[in-house]
Amino acid sequence: MFHSEDFGTLAKDTKQTSKPAKGKKRKSPLERMAELKEMRDQNLISDTEYERKKAEIMDEL
């Protein structure tokens, strides 16, 4: 059974393993921002999720 307190650990584990495969080029921040905006516009993510992820992308610059 999934417990909500485990979510942070799962999310951290996923983030650490979600690097591009060897030989694959990572998308540019501009491409990632465009995809993020598209997901928000299609209501696939909330405004809060959009702002959080946007901040992560901007911090990488």
The residue among 16, 57, 10, 17 whose CA lies nearest residue 36 is 57
Provide the domain limits for residue 58. Answer: 27-61
Give the integer Cα–Cα distance in Å for 14 and 9.
9
Q: Answer yes or no: is 46 within a domain.
A: yes
pLDDT of residue 17: 47
Q: Answer yes or no: is 44 within a domain.
A: yes
pTM as predicted: 0.57
Q: Answer yes or no: is 18 within a domain.
A: no
Q: Answer yes or no: is 52 within a domain.
A: yes
Per the CB < 8 A criterion, the answer to whether 54 and 36 are in contact is: yes
Give the integer Cα–Cα distance in Å for 56 and 61.
9
pLDDT tens, position by position, 3-30: 445 555 555 554 554 555 677 788 999 9
Q: Answer yes or no: is 7 within a domain.
A: no
pLDDT of residue 24: 76
In the chain, the number of structural domains is 1
